[in-house]
Chain A
Amino acid sequence: MATAKKKLVQWEPTDIKKELLSKYPAKVARKRAKQILINEALENTTPEIQANVRTIPGIITMRGCTYAGCKGVIMGPTRDVVNLVHGPIGCSFYAWLTRRNQTDAGENGENYMTYCFSTDMQDSDIIFGGEKKLAQAIQEVYDIFHPKAITVFATCPVGLIGDDIHNVARLKKEEFGDCNVFAFSCEGYKGVSQSAGHHIANNQIFTHIVGENDEVKEGEYKINLLGEYNIGGDGFEIDRVLRKCGIATISTFSGNSTYDQFASAHTADLSCVMCHRSINYVADMLETKYGIPWIKVNFISAKSTAKSLRKIAEYFGDQKLIDRVEEVIAEEMKAVDAAQKDVFPRTDGKTAMLFVGGSRAHHYQDLFAELGMKTLAAGYEFAHRDDYEGRQVIPNLKVDADSRNIEEIEVEADPTRYKPRKTEEELKALEDGGFEFKDYNGMLPDMEAGTFAIDDLNQFEAEKLVELMKPDIFCAGIKEKFSIQKLGVPMKQLHSYDSHGPYAGFKGAVNFYYEIDRLVNSKVWGYMKAPWQESPELSATYVWE
């Protein structure tokens, strides 16, 4: 029950790893052994994990595909662009409103988020090609809606039958004149996971939209917030805090975003990266082409939010902003401290496991730490080694055969618009003071020794981990939720937040504290056995009172 001490983990980490591998055929075991890491991160050295490699067929992975990473994740949340899926109906149907990217288009703004657009390819399109139908579909969308832009997404069969979606898009764009049309070659089989889709989306947004609008936006301390998708209103909460500090967000990639935000992103003075995995490509390209430095931030957990705000203020170096940020933190922390004080006695000492896409398995450990909860194991579906071990490993990463065909685009400094936001001396002064640009140290250094990092966790390992380590809460996604709960362990979805949120920023931290308190202390987990199951033997004749 709520306050009862949890039984200690009996197993040694090496034994647990052995158990996880014991049932696999030899080849599978060899491969999985490299993706299951017992953390021994010491200062300046992190152990190596295998990541971003192909999925083992039949293993029951949690992963999705490139289309999901491109359309579902990056482009989906942009409200005034029509995302048209070129393929049979499923791909567009499943990505229809199923990620909780909240949107505010106001009374009369454009908002296509609630719609699902597809060319609904039929067998005749597979046989004779779907280019004509695609062109006609783009035309019909244009005629009915007149959006600012129409984007086209390839699905599995499109690449195989050889439809040239980029050419169709280019011709339509020329024909319309007032509507940007471009396409993404994000066929589901590319790469090994959603990750390839992120990269493809980054490249195309950067090529086709960023830099389109040179108009100078109002506001002081202009930043881009990269890799924040406004799940459950996270972006709204971050915006609230930033606005309160006087920081202007020029663009968000891409929660509650608009076409124009992308078009103006190059006018900001700093890029702040939330989800490193999905958007680091755009961050790098903005720096190379326009001279905008980027920093890693994290608005998940109150402490991390405060730290990130201070980092932004330090970058701009303006005392007015530095003071304002401190005021805001002090003000906001009152409610956070009160909630933490209330919840802490009920959550302290409990344990968690986190297996989420490509960034939250790290970020949310900060929130659990604020609850006094230890993370026993964590991992990503599709992160790369730099997300586990830190960006210093990037020069050593080898692109394997499965990911080699993901396009890398070369970006150069813009001849007229490249403008370093800080002088060499200013940058050096900041760095000498411990300021880190363009840096992400990964998840492993923040995890305790003897904990597990597991890449591309599967159904079998999830169950085994829960059975052996008995966490008080398990965090992952919808596909994992109910099998974990059948085991009697509360499960928190960290993709959809189980219809809850926001969890970012200060208000989000308070929401999360109470949500975890509710889950780990719920009465329901005490009801799994009926009285006659707990003591099945009748020992005496019942006496009616």
Chain B
Amino acid sequence: MLLRHTPKEIKERSAVMINPAKTCQPIGAMYAALGIQGCLPHSHGSQGCCAYHRSALTRHYKEPISASTSSFTEGASVFGGQANLLQSIRNIFSVYEPEVIAVHTTCLSETIGDDLPQIFDKATKEGTIPEGKTVLGANTPSYVGSHVTGFSNMVKAMAALAEPTGKKNGKVNVIPGWVEPSDMEEIKRLAALVGADITLFPDTSGILNAPLTGEYSMFPKGGVTIAELKGCGDAIGTLALGEWCSADAARFLDSKYKVPCSVLDMPFGLKATDRFIDALRTVAGKVVPEEIAIERGQLVDLISDMHQYFYHKKVAIYGDPDQLIAMTEFLTSIDMCPVHIVTGTPGKKFEERIKEITKDSPFPVNVRAKGDMFLMHQWIKNDPVDLLIGNTYGKYISRDEDIPFVRWGFPILDRQGHQYFPTVGYKGGLRFLEKVLDALLSREDRDATEQKFELVY
């Protein structure tokens, strides 16, 4: 048993977190920054954070993740990191020549209280930032929220680059939230089918699923441009996908520049995708083409064809709040029963939303924000499930408790495909259900007696 010390009996804990279902802010900011064209993310802290965040993202995407760091020493940690950041900016522009540097902070620079705008101001006055180049920043204290919060903070900093001209440009801002490059690609494909002209930010497609050609560019083609970000204040509206990841940026554009926004769920599954497409056609003033209706019908077809394998199957699922809310709704909508739902990210609204979505469940539902995977494992021991859905760390529970397992979320360290094939949209829904069916039916095949071993499902 890999998690042999996890007892069935649950003792409430107030201080120790065991097997977290979250990580810290800066990695989210780093991921978001990679969705800007020509951008080098910069971690203003000691270099260990940067090394860890780069490694974690690399292991997930199997792609180079470039990011620089202020490399604090003990001296800087006591007397402030201004000199380190100024040196960094100088060195980065000389050696790596990015268009943009997107700075985020860590628990170190936040605890000592380094003032990013003041340092940027000094850099500008001293001419450290070359003409035409951009430096932006977000405060991402690791002791607040989670990686999702860090993502949201950097996305908000991107929205803050808006320079409205006062003339609407007819475009729609779409803030996709923390989804895979493949998901961002899928959102762009759907928008193109609808005929909506969108500014997607951040946009890591093309950057974190780049081809192998024998040439390496630290800044592959792709990502939202600074010009596009400047223009997002002139958009006719913003669709923010996910309350935790995207709402802050959208509300900022709404309150500051009167760009009206809608906060939707991430488009995982049938209903959330329906709402996304419907909102997109409304704000863009377009008619949804038949092609999209066909894709939707195919997903409904698969659900009806395979319904017997979904019906009343108990599921444990963990990950990030925006993704979990949409996925819990999707599972519930096909008559599966999510019964244990955990996110490490804080937020009371999460538990309320999940309770609302699962209120008609035939089984009792456990939900916890700021929970951990140790607690979820204990719940599973007390009330076993038919399927486990979440990031790679679930494989230890899956093996110990012998539960079919579908990898979904962040990070996935031990399988390929997530960076290439979407799970958003109707097409993504098809792929996701295919994975669920494969896990469930492989288990039937494994467990069936020879007499009951089936050729056809």
Q: Residue of A at shortest CB range from B12?
A: A140
- Contact mask for chain B residues 436-450; partner A; CB cutoff 8 A; 1 contact, 0 none: 000000000000000
A379 within 8 A of B: no
- Contact mask for chain B residues 33-61; partner A; CB cutoff 8 A; 1 contact, 0 none: 00000000010011111011111101100
Residues of A within 8 A of B14 (CB): 136, 140
Residues of B within 8 A of A57 (CB): 68-71, 84-85, 87-88, 91
Residues of B within 8 A of A487 (CB): 214-216
Tell me the complex Cα distance, A144–B19, Å: 14
Tell me the complex Cα distance, A111–B396, Å: 13
Tell me the complex Cα distance, A52–B254, Å: 50
Name the interface residues of B55-77: CB closer than 8 Å to any CB of A.
55-56, 58-59, 62-77
Tell me the complex Cα distance, A116–B51, Å: 19
B409 within 8 A of A: no
Known: A98-B55, A160-B77. A486 touches B215 (CB 8 A): yes
Q: Residue of B at shortest CB range from A486?
A: B216
- CB atoms of B143 and A125 under 8 A apart: yes
- CB atoms of A84 and B68 under 8 A apart: no
- CB atoms of A189 and B108 under 8 A apart: yes
Q: Residue of A at shortest CB range from B62?
A: A482
Q: Residue of B at shortest CB range from A64?
A: B51
Residues of B within 8 A of A62 (CB): 51
Residues of B within 8 A of A478 (CB): 55, 58-59
Shortest beta-carbon distance from B161 to chain A in Å:
22
Residues of B within 8 A of A120 (CB): 17, 20
Residues of A within 8 A of B25 (CB): 90
Tell me the complex Cα distance, A97–B111, Å: 28
Q: Residue of B at shortest CB range from A114?
A: B2
- CB atoms of B68 and A60 under 8 A apart: yes
A-B contact count (CB 8 A): 260
Residues of B within 8 A of A144 (CB): 5, 7, 11, 13
Tell me the complex Cα distance, A540–B212, Å: 30
- CB atoms of B58 and A89 under 8 A apart: no
- CB atoms of A119 and B108 under 8 A apart: no
- Contact mask for chain A residues 78-115; partner B; CB cutoff 8 A; 1 contact, 0 none: 00000010011111111111100000000010111011
B456 within 8 A of A: no
Interface residue stretch chosen among A65-73, A256-264, A344-352, A422-430: A65-73
- CB atoms of A140 and B52 under 8 A apart: no
Known: A114-B2, A115-B3, A189-B46. A479 touches B65 (CB 8 A): yes
Shortest beta-carbon distance from A54 to chain B in Å:
5
Residues of A within 8 A of B227 (CB): none
Tell me the complex Cα distance, A125–B107, Å: 12
- Contact mask for chain A residues 445-466; partner B; CB cutoff 8 A; 1 contact, 0 none: 0000000000000011001000
- CB atoms of A463 and B216 under 8 A apart: yes
- CB atoms of B144 and A122 under 8 A apart: yes
Residues of B within 8 A of A116 (CB): 18-20
Tell me the complex Cα distance, A88–B346, Å: 14
Q: Which of B58, B144, B344 contacts A479 (CB 8 A)?
A: B58
- CB atoms of A117 and B18 under 8 A apart: yes
Most chain-B CB neighbours within 10 Å: which of A23, A110, A401, A459?
A459
Tell me the complex Cα distance, A88–B48, Å: 14
Q: Which of B16, B52, B65, B218 contacts A68 (CB 8 A)?
A: B52
- CB atoms of A156 and B77 under 8 A apart: yes
What are 14 A-B pairs at a CB distance below 8 A? A57-B69, A57-B85, A87-B107, A88-B141, A90-B24, A94-B23, A114-B2, A115-B5, A115-B19, A161-B111, A187-B77, A189-B76, A459-B218, A528-B212
**B residues near A, CB below 8 A?**
2-5, 7, 11, 13-20, 22-27, 42, 45-49, 51-56, 58-59, 62-78, 84-85, 87-92, 94-96, 106-108, 111-112, 141-144, 146, 210, 212-216, 218, 344, 374, 393, 396
**A residues near B, CB below 8 A?**
23-25, 28, 54-68, 84, 87-98, 108, 110-112, 114-123, 125-126, 133-134, 136-137, 139-141, 143-145, 155-157, 159-161, 187-192, 401-402, 405, 459-460, 463, 477-479, 481-488, 528-529
Counting from the closest, the 10 A-B pairs by CB-CB distance are A65-B48, A90-B24, A58-B88, A94-B52, A136-B15, A483-B64, A88-B142, A58-B91, A137-B15, A137-B16
